[in-house]
Amino acid sequence: MNARLLALYGLKWHPFSSELPIEALYIPPRVEQFLWRIEQAQIREGGFAMIHGEPGTGKSVVLRLLAER
């Protein structure tokens, strides 16, 4: 997507790019709670967490957010 088209719609980044920066993502409260639980419990005590769901529901994005933190 070219810069002119992005400017036309007031966008900074291509909204469907897989390289969308973390700061451009909306983090719903439910995902924020999940990330907090993983940070507080799983990292200190160890263990596993499973992220599952239908295709296109944001599983990869949640993993990117978790990796960033």
In a domain, 7, yes or no: no
Burial of 66 (0-12, 13-18, 19+ CB in 10 A): middle
Mean local confidence (pLDDT), 28-41: 90
In a domain, 58, yes or no: yes
Angle of helix 29-37 versus helix 59-68 axis, rounded to 10? 50
pLDDT at 15: 78
Model confidence pLDDT, tens digit, residues 37-60: 888 887 777 778 888 999 988 898
pTM above 0.75, yes or no: no
If pLDDT is split at 50, 70 and 90, which confidence band does 32 have? very high
pLDDT at 2: 80
In a domain, 32, yes or no: yes
In a domain, 51, yes or no: yes
In a domain, 8, yes or no: no
Domain that holds residue 57: 19-68
In a domain, 13, yes or no: no
Gap between the Cα atoms of 67 and 60, Å rounded = 10
CA distances, 57 to each of 8, 52, 60, 68 (Å): 28, 9, 9, 19
In a domain, 52, yes or no: yes
